[in-house]
Amino acid sequence: MSDIPIFQREIADGVADLVRSTASVAYFTGATLVKPDSVEDSLVNRIKAENKDQIDLYYLEAILVSTNWNGNDDVFLPEQTWAARSTPEDKPFNYMHDENDIIGHITGSYVVDRDGNRIQADAKTHPGDFDIVTRIVLYTSWANEENRERMNQIIAEIEGDEEKWFVSMECLFSGFDYAVQAPDGSQYIVARNEETAFLTSKLRAYGGDGTHEGYKIGRAIRNISFSGEGLVDNPANKRSRITKPNASVAFQTPKNVTIGELNMSDVLKEQNDALKAELAEAKEALKTMQAENDAAKAKEIEAQVSSHEAEVAEKDASIAELTEKVSALETEVKDSKDAVKAAEDSLAKSEEEVDKMKKEKKDKERKCALLDAGVDADKADETLASLESLDDEAFATVISLYESKKAEASSSDDDEDGSAEADESDDDGASEADALEDTEASENLPKGDDSSDTSEAKTKVVAFLEGVIG
């Protein structure tokens, strides 16, 4: 359903929120037990729930609503109530207004006149004043023992003489007008609009006392939809109990009039004019207040803007300072990096120079050793270059062999005057000595693991010695 429209006067009177939030009516009536063995001409026996005689259902009927002016000053007009006559069907039936505690449902509804005569649902016109009766079933079969015992007690109390249980109707609506009853008993309907909205605050539903200048004011509900029923005990709100059908007042077929046509000794019209003047004055005052408020807000906003601008300027200065510090740190880091790079380059150069000096020293020492071992000075550099890849131990072995050869050469010079036989023998001996030297050279090579580097060094030494000595 659409929301109830709100008028400016209702806002000014402070009832707008109430109008929006109370678009429903609770209505209490007595419950009637359906007894199949009742007399034939009773209303209860003539009208029963459609799906009757179920062993797990308990049948009830109740007057849901009557066209009347009830004790809460809510007025159910015949044409509006007639239009909603079928809306109760298939709605839930709960316990004590708890929508999560469903104990039955509404199986159907029908209309009866004030004499109890049933009115066909498809009748084109309503009978004037009438009641809407609902057919209700309660669930008697419960797996939960507590629920089963509660239902048994409820049924026993319904069947008892004391009227303890009531049926609570609730309906939704999306609009209302004003029902007005004059001191002489005549009744009228005044349309709710911007001109008549001052009457809303007079309604009891919205905190008023239900009267205005001697006239009784009620809320004539429109666009109704009945949304369900509940089983309730005597309500704490005694005003609600007076809405039972026998406490209701029949509402005569009213005359629809405008506020100008309704003569309340011209009081309403005069007051309406006065209210209009007050409203205009209030609007002017409101404009003045709004202007003053706007000026104050503008001043406050200006102060806030100035404060924010100062904060922004302060933060900008802080950002600039931090940016400068970051720049200085970046420069310092760059200088440090450059210094580190220069130091690294200098270190690398120094290491190269040291390595070069070490090599020169080593080469000089090795060349001296070669010369001392008998290598010709002309061939010393060439021999040194060919032995450059040997480690110190292998090089020492080579020097040892050169020295042995030098000693042998000296001994050979002393025997030059010998006989040819002796020479032949010496040649044979020299060959044997050479073979022996080769063997000794191999045996004198550095001992180590069988790695590829050591094997390669040995191979180079042997090859070199074969070329030099052989």
- Where residue 270 falls among pLDDT bands split at 50, 70, 90? low
Tell me what pLDDT residue 435 has. 39
- Where residue 268 falls among pLDDT bands split at 50, 70, 90? low
440 in a structural domain = yes
434 in a structural domain = yes
Tell me what pLDDT residue 283 has. 87
Least Cα distance to 201 among 193, 192, 210 occurs for 210
Shared domain check, 385 and 240: no
The residue among 199, 229, 258 that closes a domain is: 258
Least Cα distance to 458 among 406, 364, 391, 371 occurs for 391
Shared domain check, 377 and 253: no
Three-state secondary-structure class, residue 185 = coil
In this predicted structure, the answer to whether residue 236 has a pLDDT above a threshold of 80 is no
Number of domains in the chain: 2
240 in a structural domain = yes
Token pair for residue 225?
């939809």
d(CA 259, CA 274) in angstroms, rounded, equals 14
Query: Going by C-beta distance under 8 Å and a sequence separation of 6 or more, which residues neighbour residue 420?
Result: none
DSSP string, 348-415: HHHHHHHHHHHHHHHHHHHHHHHHHTT--HHHHHHHHHHTTTS-HHHHHHHHHHHHHHHHHHHHHHHT
In this predicted structure, the answer to whether residue 266 has a pLDDT above a threshold of 90 is no
- Where residue 171 falls among pLDDT bands split at 50, 70, 90? confident
The mean pLDDT value for 52-56 works out to: 83
In this predicted structure, the answer to whether residue 225 has a pLDDT above a threshold of 50 is yes
Shared domain check, 246 and 378: no
The mean pLDDT value for 187-213 works out to: 93
Higher local confidence (pLDDT), 410 or 256: 410
d(CA 367, CA 372) in angstroms, rounded, equals 8
The residue among 233, 258, 283 that closes a domain is: 258
Specify which of 91-95, 127-131, 259-263, 288-292 reaches the highest per-range mean pLDDT.
91-95
The mean pLDDT value for 31-53 works out to: 49
- Where residue 269 falls among pLDDT bands split at 50, 70, 90? low
Tell me what pLDDT residue 362 has. 87
Tell me which of 16-30, 188-202, 369-383, 451-465 is least confident: 451-465
The mean pLDDT value for 108-133 works out to: 88
Tell me what pLDDT residue 51 has. 64
Higher local confidence (pLDDT), 13 or 2: 13
pLDDT tens figures, 340-362: 988 888 899 888 889 889 888 98
Shared domain check, 28 and 158: yes
Least Cα distance to 203 among 4, 56, 440 occurs for 4
Tell me what pLDDT residue 264 has. 53
Tell me what pLDDT residue 257 has. 57
170 in a structural domain = yes
315 in a structural domain = no
Higher local confidence (pLDDT), 68 or 415: 68
Query: Going by C-beta distance under 8 Å and a sequence separation of 6 or more, which residues neighbour residue 9?
Result: 194, 197, 198, 200, 275, 279
By the 10 Å C-beta count (0-12 exposed, 13-18 middle, 19+ buried), 102 is classed as: middle
165 in a structural domain = yes
Beta bridge partners, 286, equal: none
439 in a structural domain = yes
Least Cα distance to 81 among 250, 200, 208, 201 occurs for 250
Tell me what pLDDT residue 419 has. 45
Tell me what pLDDT residue 254 has. 59
The residue among 208, 231, 258 that closes a domain is: 258
Shared domain check, 252 and 378: no
> Residues 138, 143, 149, 152: what is their CA dihedral angle, to the nearest 10 degrees?
30
Shared domain check, 384 and 253: no
The mean pLDDT value for 399-424 works out to: 68
Shared domain check, 379 and 254: no
- Where residue 417 falls among pLDDT bands split at 50, 70, 90? very low
Tell me what pLDDT residue 28 has. 59
- Where residue 208 falls among pLDDT bands split at 50, 70, 90? very high
Residue ranges making up the domain that contains 114: 12-174+219-258
In this predicted structure, the answer to whether residue 420 has a pLDDT above a threshold of 70 is no
By percentage, how much of the chain surpasses pLDDT 70? 73
The mean pLDDT value for 172-201 works out to: 92
Tell me which of 281-290, 409-418, 432-441 is least confident: 432-441
Tell me what pLDDT residue 456 has. 63
Tell me what pLDDT residue 368 has. 92
Tell me what pLDDT residue 152 has. 94
Tell me what pLDDT residue 62 has. 85
Tell me what pLDDT residue 47 has. 43
In this predicted structure, the answer to whether residue 32 has a pLDDT above a threshold of 70 is no
By percentage, how much of the chain surpasses pLDDT 90? 26
3 in a structural domain = no
Q: What is the mean pLDDT of the chain?
A: 78
